[in-house]
Amino acid sequence: MSTLKPKLFTTLKDYTKEQFFKDVTSGIIVAIIALPLSIALAIASGVSPEKGLYTAIIAGFLISLLGGSRVLIGGPTGAFMVIVYGIVTKYGVDGLIMATLMAGVILVLMGLCQLGGVIKFIPYPITIGFTSGIALVIFSSQIKDFFGLTLNEVPAEFIGKWEAYFKAIDTIDIQTTIIGMIALLIIILWPKINKKIPGAFIALIVTSVIVKVFNLEVATIGSKFGEISSSLPMPQFPAFDLNKIPLLIGPAITIALLGAIESLLAAVVSDGMIGGKHRSNMELVAQGVGNIGSALFGGIPATGAIARTVANIKNGGRTPVAGMVHAVTLLLIMVIFMPLAKMIPLAALSAILIIVAYNMSEWREFKELFKSPKSDILILVVTFLVTVLIDLVKAIELGMILSAFLFMKRMTDVSNVNMVKMDAAEEDEQEVFDFNKESMKLRTSENVQIYEINGPFFFGAADKFMEVMSDLGHTTKTLIIRMRNVPSMDATALHAFKRMITMCRKHKINIIISGINEQPKKVLKKASVYELIGEENFFTTIEEAIDYSRKIN
């Protein structure tokens, strides 16, 4: 099955030495970008720094090896920070490993069940809402380390967090704030000097040297975490706590959905940049395997990283080899230089994540969505607020439920049942039916009524149907129902149809159906309603239906 074939096997058929050198160069540059991000995201997620590197190395390698995209780079991302921090706080690192493994299995199953295309049905306002919400939460979580605030414990809740910050505002450490500002300025301004070497990497080196040379009393990775391991641990399957599994199902599904959404969005973006076409189902399988691998090595959740993927493309990477080189390079850096990481100031890592939060915020898209219909604005604002104030899992759930209800309302609004009584005295054209000139010459007798259903005939429109049916006159002998504009009907609509038949039989009214489409016809046949009405009472055109009504009246 081609949709479940890794892109690596496809790209290697025409692989050249020139492309190999480009992939290697790009992989090394992307590794340098991923190094500070992986460390910063791990710390912000509530785990030790090396776990971010384990994730980038193991998951990054597996995602590139098995993925359905040519250029996608996998690893830890800011989108997971909020959910990971929440899991670690409630269930510990073991709970996080369990949730990541469960999410990996869910992603693999999604890919095997060909659900890669289903992700596109998640409404855009939900995606922007929770992405912007996560960005604000990430920014809020970095205030303590950026300003060196003295706080014994930072509340997990957004409002509680800011209340604690304002109460501790007089504890701002000037040295820490200066280091954070220097790092922030380097990250912002460095691209104007050199676009190849990432500003975040330069910021870490410069601020670490400043802290060391001037012996500043600034919190560093070493002062917070002590010695950091410079080698990969042996893979280890965690001891599953069966009591925790029901509690972790929700977070695991959220991790899987976030991983699927972000990776496939990144794949779509990269397709546009290189003129390629990714294999979405294979990508989901690869993301699942990558997360399983990351969890077994003690890492955190991973997904496709848009920023690192774009950097890979801009530096010449065009095959999964670049992503694999990125992972191997990170491994070498960890083994050789990890002891030096303890010198990195936490304020510099906070500066990196503040930039990540800004890039994630998508404030331009957020602002643009306020020009959309009110229902979309409502979904956007609710998802954003619930993400920030309550919980990311609840935000996605509520956003999807709200979207579904609003979609049903829209369908109900566009679905309608119209009646036109075409008696012999009528001369005006009926816009509701939009008859052609020949049809307009047709007239029915006083005891024939014609109804037309427009739009999907589902539970949202069933009440409208029965309300109109209740207005049938006592003199009506024949009812013609025109269904040319009904693409589908559901069980509630079918039930309404049966009630209409019962009512018509009670009043001895003949029923004629005109222009029924295939799906509604199948529904009626399966429920034996088609036979109940009688095949002789179904007609392709309204003209045939009216002619027949004259014969039976």
Residues 376 and 419 in one domain: no
- DSSP lists the bridge partners of residue 481 as 451, 513
Residues 34 and 151 in one domain: yes
Quick one: tokens of 234? 């042996």
Residues 91 and 223 in one domain: yes
Residues 388 and 434 in one domain: no
Residue in this structure with the two tokens 């009584």, named with its chain if needed: 421
The amino acid present at 412, given as its one-letter code, is T
Residue in this structure with the two tokens 């503040």, named with its chain if needed: 354
On whether residue 290 sits in a domain, the answer given is yes
pLDDT in the model for residue 196: 81
Residues 271 and 420 in one domain: no
Q: What CATH number is given to the structural domain containing 447?
A: 3.30.750.24
Longest dimension (CA), the chain: 103
On whether residue 451 sits in a domain, the answer given is yes
Last residue of a domain, one of 362, 378, 405: 405
Residues 150 and 267 in one domain: yes
pLDDT in the model for residue 268: 86
Quick one: tokens of 46? 């509530």
On whether residue 410 sits in a domain, the answer given is no
On whether residue 461 sits in a domain, the answer given is yes
On whether residue 463 sits in a domain, the answer given is yes
On whether residue 495 sits in a domain, the answer given is yes
pLDDT in the model for residue 420: 56
Contact 210, 182 (CB under 8 A): yes
Residues 461 and 384 in one domain: no
Contact 42, 224 (CB under 8 A): no
Name the nearest CA neighbour of 189 among 200, 180, 176: 200
Residue 20 structural domain: 2-405
Contact 493, 461 (CB under 8 A): yes
Last residue of a domain, one of 358, 382, 405: 405
pLDDT in the model for residue 193: 92
Q: What are the CA-CA distances from residue 255 to residues 84, 112, 396 (Å)?
A: 9, 18, 11
Residues 128 and 57 in one domain: yes
Last residue of a domain, one of 405, 428, 447: 405
Residues 166 and 213 in one domain: yes
Dihedral (C-alpha) 381, 382, 383, 387: value to the nearest 10 degrees? 100
Residue ranges of the chain whose pLDDT lies below 50: 1, 421-442
Residue in this structure with the two tokens 């199953």, named with its chain if needed: 109
Task: Give me the sheet containing 478-485, strands edge to edge.
Answer: 416-420, 448-454, 478-485, 510-514, 538-539
Helix (H, G, I), strand (E, B) or coil at 428: coil
On whether residue 79 sits in a domain, the answer given is yes
Residues 242 and 338 in one domain: yes
Domain count, the chain: 2
Residues 114 and 140 in one domain: yes
On whether residue 31 sits in a domain, the answer given is yes
Rounded to an integer, what distance in angstroms lies between the CA atom of residue 5 and that of residue 63? 13
Exposure letters 422-447 (e unless 16+ CB within 10 A, then b): beeeeeeebeebebeeeeeeeebbeb
**How many Cα atoms are found within 13 Å in the side-chain-facing hemisphere of 417?**
23
- Residue 366, phi then psi, degrees to nearest 5: -60, -50
Residue in this structure with the two tokens 């000037």, named with its chain if needed: 174
Distance, CA of 283 to chain centre = 15
* Alpha helical stretches, state H, 315-425: 320-337, 346-361, 363-368, 374-389, 392-414
Residues 441 and 391 in one domain: no
